[in-house]
Structure 1
Amino acid sequence: MSRRPVAQINLAALGHNLQRVQQLAPASKVLAVLKANAYGHGLVKVAQALTAADAFAVARIDEALALRTAGIVKPIVLLEGFYEAAELPILLANNLQTVVHNELQLMALEQAELDGQLKVWLKIDTGMHRLGIAPEQFAEFYRRLWQCPAVQPGIRLMSHFCCADIPGSDKTEQQQALFQLLCSDKAEQQSLANSAAIISLPQSHADWVRPGLMLHGISPLPNQSGQQHQLQPVMRLSSRLIAMRQVQAGETVGYGGNWQAKVTTWIGVIAIGYGDGYPRHASNGTPVWLEGREVQLVGRVSMDMITVDLGECPTETIGAEAVLWGPELAIERVAQCADTIPYELLCNITPRVNYQYLTGQ
């Protein structure tokens, strides 16, 4: 019996979720965001499965080169752009597109002596205040990029919402209005909508949408599940019950003794912990799906193990499968119990977990 946790990645569910994006934004092209190892699902495998996407987006050049090495030929956009001028020939040789979001990048393009031209996305900071040029810089950047010999004609215009996951946010309306004020008279293709905006702000879809989290079947909106948006979970994280013991009323379990049994009960030990990426700060009561029923986490999460309350008369035996999140148990619930977000849970999965890719329904 293997004690190694397993992350099953359902590629059919991934395809279903892409179709759902296309249903929600039928007039838009899809720039599928695969940064951070495709949100912990496996960069290359996910890209190979998303054959219906129009292009891929990653954060950094090493991610893009990994896709090219694996034979991915679709357009790839670097969301953080390039870091130094020496990378520009690499971008050109690998047919990579770059976001431009600051003066240094613009100057590097103007000074570059390349054998071809690069496709550029100009990012405008409409209120996120992370990456992007200031609105008052837009006219100058737009003009200089059009005049730059290293840049392909037809730059693309983009921005990023900071509060799209907060329904009714005035900030989102302000950002969209500012972007439209700057870009409405431009013929170039435009992109604003991330996963949250794809679902809740159809007026922001524009020419390109940028789904990330929702491709993996998870809701980007608070207190909602992917199922509510007709999405299917892609990852099923599971492990095994490796020990059982009875504890008496008043006895404690785990480091610090922060959980105390109120009655005599059975405790189950499951082979997963923060060394595998399970959240260390998951609280007592966090749900775990154990062979057809929901049990609760008790005691602190250890590096390699968690403990759950099996009740007074458990029917499970050692070797029983435990699902930490997946179709049986929404990851959104687990994230809430750990005072975090699903993004972090997915990205924190470590190499100790065995990945299995499923192609069937």
Structure 2
Amino acid sequence: MKRSLQEKVITTLQELIETPSPTGMTAGVIAYIKKRLQPYALKMEQTNKGGLLVTIPGEDQEQWRFVTAHVDTLGAMVKEVKTNGRLALSNIGGYSWHSVDGTYCTVHTDRGKAVSGTILASKTSVHAYGEEARTQKRIAENMELRLDAKVKKAEDVEELGIQVGDFVSFSPLFEACETGFIKGRHMDDKASAALLLEWIIQHTEEGKKLPHTTQVFFSTFEEVGFGANSNISARVKEYLAIDMGVIGDGQTTDEFCVSICAKDSSGPYHAELRQHLVRLAQQEDLYYKVDLYPFYGSDASAAVAAGYDIKHALIGPGVDASHAYERTHREALVNTYQLLMAYVQSPILS
């Protein structure tokens, strides 16, 4: 990937990350993608669930590929307006409350108003609560949202237009470091979405023909388990999810590789397709790792669970501290992009 394309990917990544899109509130980020693709006269279809399906014609129009990245993120929803003017929350997606303690956030009202705030434990001040502030469990019942507004009671909050069911997005604190690291929330999975979006644009501008018609799906419900398990044509033979690679103790994945998943919590991915991806990575001299993700599910595994008869695989850039303040590196983006390009230009497995 040329340096100019790297810069485009990082700019797109920042724009995606800074567009709030907790699962269930993704219209804005899908509108951004549609606007970016509008000049290229591509066939685009927005599904009933809100995802965006882009079809790129290939030489073989009978055997198709399906490639996904998800643009929905972690977030929360207002569960209760408390008598003291603070908000109780219900989580959207699978994160630990420790990972959002102290997070700046925004409440999005149904009237279109945005109100900033901070997520805190109810007994945060050591000056007021002493040891209890240090030991209070970070669980949903003990967490609350402190609004940046002059509110002292529930009625004050209601006058702002805030009510139960309003979405809450987390401030991403995006930063691209001179050392090549890229950090902030929602690398999962907007890093992959940025790669896919820039690949579509580059491929269309170059005017090359793919060997197989390929559908790219930007899904909007992955964080809750059913992002892209519908709208899959009977012509689709292979399904590639591009999502973050897991880093942690016992993992081979790091922040510089493209991670190729052999198995996650749903079970093994298609062995032959995974092996094909490994061979392509080797042929392209890419830095890759094969790994197992023990507490993970993807759009591809959700599609298989929904009953689709497809060969499914999962790759993605290595991301540290997933579902918290995440970090990846330019090298991981480059390796993932190069493997994506090699894959879509290769023949479908027989």
Bigger strand fraction:
2
TM bracket, shorter-chain basis: under 0.3
* More relative contact order, 1 or 2 (CA 8 Å, 6+ apart): 2
Larger Rg over CA atoms: 1
Q: TM-score, normalised by structure 1?
A: 0.23
